[in-house]
């Protein structure tokens, strides 16, 4: 039997979905008659900060007072697992699902794109609980509509959509799809924007989800001057690379302190859930709690990260969770805190569980025994139970041998066989038989201009075979160069959602001897030939790093040329967009940064 008040609330909820925030405010006011307003949520995700890159986890060098304070004032999840690399962790966190289910199985060339039918935490909180939603930092789950963060539940987005930016000072970023130039160090700039967002929502008395996925201490290893001065001449750690990474970690700690201070200032700390975590293990060998593996490893050190959750209203200070938990648990846990009792009613089937009872130490609750699955590629994967971690050829007792020094494969074959069968059963449904990159979509009215970057193209016949990326692997920010074979080409999958005329423009760099180079852009039966008839483009330069892992890494070019290639007709459907060379007057074709397709009126 529904009470009159509950019926009124349901009517207001439905109106909220139809009419937006004005009515949502009324809904929340009415909901207050039944209980407290939903908590604010601040999620701070760091990039390549491993388990050992926090003082409270035993690092003998680092000073991270704000991270340590957060752990002491809330719950410290000591066995918290993510993915071996960036984009899959982000997809899992946002959806509560194993990343291969979402379309994400890599970090570049469209393998990082999350399918649009996935329902994110931001969509849930905005649409079902009236939250304001903002993301500030590294997205890395799709650059184009409808995979852009503004199309995935975030009303406000400030940051960058690719996997990396090459310059951490005065970075070129975007705000809701429009480029913006900001002065300062990138982590400081992102924190500034997140703080402004929280202040605005507090002024409007509206609950918020503030997602801050920092891109540091990911390489390039470029720390702010003040932090680096404290580290540059230390004798320990011995290598400058690790010292520079630690300087970046201390900058992150300072910015976390700024975020927490704003919550205190606005009197929001008690009713704000703060989640802090890393996205994978550390890049490079450094202190990591004695674990085996670093970033990109499927062993413990590659996927176990710091995770602290503070909610003074509900979580007791000093709570320690030793049971296994994971990124996929955050969506169901935070949804429950926001009053969404059954998030799976609005999402794809969830893999994570609600940790609320464990975090709040409710009497009689015991964490279920379950497996955590790590899939990097067909050859690299592992499965973790409460006690063991197994791969196809290893078995380790993580309680008696946390450093994974003794392989128990021969001494415990039945245990190994049980875990491997469990992994194979899971992979049958969680890992698609064909892991193909999702296409770039063009033709939406909401995004008539689509800039396809060089790292979204595959190279044929392959990297270094008459065509190459400016650095290895073709990560975000790179370009196509060394195009010395006319038979080589670049291509990417394309989905045309609306047939029509599209203007193609090319960003390039061209030496004088390559003037007259001729290309053809082809999509299905349509093709467009064009000539580069003007030279230009500034010289490439490496990122400013204190101690790079590789000489001259993370190249940038400040000035690119732009050519109007003409208009190409695209028919609705899936096609392969291909850029081919026709005429090469010099030793190589011009370097290619971007192919932009803009839908134009007939």
Q: Among this protein's residues, is 86 annotated catalytic?
A: yes
H or E element: which one contains 196? helix 186-203
Write the DSSP assignment of 200-236 as a string of letters.
HHHHTT--EEEEEE---SSSS----HHHHHHHTT-SS
State CA 318 to chain mean position distance. Answer: 29
CB contact burial 307-337 (16+ within 10 A = b; e otherwise): bbbbbbebbeeebebeebbbbbbbbbbbbbb
Residue 301 CA to residue 405 CA, distance in Å, equals 13
Q: Among this protein's residues, is 140 annotated catalytic?
A: yes
Give the β-pairing of 573-583 and 489-496. antiparallel
Q: Determine which one of 140, 144, 148, 416 is catalytic.
A: 140
Cβ-Cβ contacts under 8 Å for 273 (sequence gap 6 or more): 39, 40, 41, 42, 309, 310, 311, 334, 337
Give the β-pairing of 561-570 and 500-509. antiparallel
Residue 476 CA to residue 164 CA, distance in Å, equals 6
Residue 427 CA to residue 433 CA, distance in Å, equals 9
Count CB neighbours of 137 within 10 A: 27
Cβ-Cβ contacts under 8 Å for 159 (sequence gap 6 or more): 135, 136, 137, 138, 139, 173, 174, 190, 213
CB 515 within 8 A of CB 187: no
Cβ-Cβ contacts under 8 Å for 118 (sequence gap 6 or more): 91, 94, 95, 97, 102, 103, 152, 347, 348
Q: Determine which one of 86, 161, 210, 510 is catalytic.
A: 86
Cβ-Cβ contacts under 8 Å for 400 (sequence gap 6 or more): none
What one-character DSSP code corresponds to residue 447?
A: -
If DSSP codes are grouped into helix, strand and coil, which group holds residue 16?
Answer: helix
Give the β-pairing of 500-509 and 591-600. antiparallel
Count CB neighbours of 588 within 10 A: 19
Where do we find the tokens 């194993």?
A: 98
Cα 278 to Cα 66, 93, 215, 312: the distances in Å are: 15, 11, 10, 22
Residue 150 CA to residue 173 CA, distance in Å, equals 15
If DSSP codes are grouped into helix, strand and coil, which group holds residue 194?
Answer: helix
Catalytic residues: 86, 140
């Amino acid at each position: 039997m529904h009470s009159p008040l509950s019926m009124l609330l349901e009517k207001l909820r439905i109106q909220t979905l139809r009419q937006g925030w004005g009515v949502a405010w009324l809904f929340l006011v009415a909901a207050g008659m039944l209980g407290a307003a939903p908590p604010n949520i601040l999620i701070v995700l760091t990039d390549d900060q491993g388990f050992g890159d926090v003082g409270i986890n035993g690092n003998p060098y680092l000073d991270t007072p704000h991270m340590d304070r957060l752990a002491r004032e809330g719950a410290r999840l000591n066995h918290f697992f993510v993915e071996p690399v960036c984009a899959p962790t982000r997809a899992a966190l946002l959806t509560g699902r194993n990343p291969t289910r979402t379309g994400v199985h890599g970090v570049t060339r469209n393998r990082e794109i999350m399918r649009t039918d996935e329902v994110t935490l931001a969509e849930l909180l905005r649409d079902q609980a009236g939250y304001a939603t903002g993301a500030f930092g590294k997205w890395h789950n799709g650059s184009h509509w409808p995979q852009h963060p503004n199309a995935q539940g975030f009303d406000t987005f400030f940051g960058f959509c690719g996997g990396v930016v090459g310059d951490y000072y005065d970075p070129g970023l975007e705000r809701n799809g429009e480029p913006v130039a900001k002065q300062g160090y990138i982590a400081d700039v992102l924190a500034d924007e997140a703080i402004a967002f929280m202040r605005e929502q507090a002024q409007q008395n509206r609950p918020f989800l503030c997602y801050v996925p920092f891109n540091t201490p990911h390489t390039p290893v470029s720390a702010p001057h003040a932090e680096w001065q404290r580290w540059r001449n230390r004798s320990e750690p011995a290598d400058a690379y690790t010292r520079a990474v630690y300087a970046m970690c201390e900058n992150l700690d300072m910015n976390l302190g700024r975020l927490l201070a704003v919550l205190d200032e606005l009197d929001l700390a008690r009713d704000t859930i703060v989640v802090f975590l890393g996205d994978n293990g550390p890049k490079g060998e450094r202190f990591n709690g004695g674990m085996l593996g670093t970033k990109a490893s499927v062993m413990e050190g590659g996927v176990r990260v710091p995770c602290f959750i503070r909610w003074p209203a509900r979580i007791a200070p000093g709570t320690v969770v030793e049971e296994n938990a994971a990124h996929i648990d955050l969506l169901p846990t935070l949804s429950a805190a926001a009053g969404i009792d059954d998030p799976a009613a609005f999402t794809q089937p969830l893999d994570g569980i609600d940790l609320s009872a464990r975090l709040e130490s409710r009497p009689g609750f015991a964490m279920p025994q379950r497996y955590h699955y790590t899939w990097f590629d067909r050859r690299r994967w592992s499965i973790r139970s409460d006690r063991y971690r197994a791969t196809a050829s290893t078995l380790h007792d993580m309680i008696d041998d946390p450093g994974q020094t003794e392989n128990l494969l021969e001494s415990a074959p039945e245990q190994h066989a049980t875990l491997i069968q469990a992994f194979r059963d899971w992979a049958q449904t969680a890992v698609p038989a064909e892991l193909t990159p999702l296409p770039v979509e063009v033709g939406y009215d909401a995004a008539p201009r689509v800039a396809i970057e060089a790292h979204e193209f595959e190279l044929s016949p392959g990297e270094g075979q008459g065509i190459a990326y400016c650095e290895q692997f073709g990560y975000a920010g790179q370009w196509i160069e060394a195009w010395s074979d006319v038979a080589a080409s670049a291509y990417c999958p394309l989905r045309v959602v609306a047939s029509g005329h599209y203007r193609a423009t090319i960003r390039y760099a061209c030496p004088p001897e390559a003037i007259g180079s001729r290309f053809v852009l082809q999509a299905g039966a349509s093709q467009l030939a064009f000539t580069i008839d003007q030279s230009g483009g500034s010289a490439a330069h490496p990122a400013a790093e204190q101690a790079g892992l590789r000489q001259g890494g993370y190249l940038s070019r400040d000035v690119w040329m732009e050519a109007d290639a003409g208009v190409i007709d695209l028919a609705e459907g899936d096609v392969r967009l291909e850029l081919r060379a026709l005429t090469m007057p010099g030793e190589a074709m011009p370097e290619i940064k971007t192919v932009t397709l803009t839908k134009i009126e007939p």
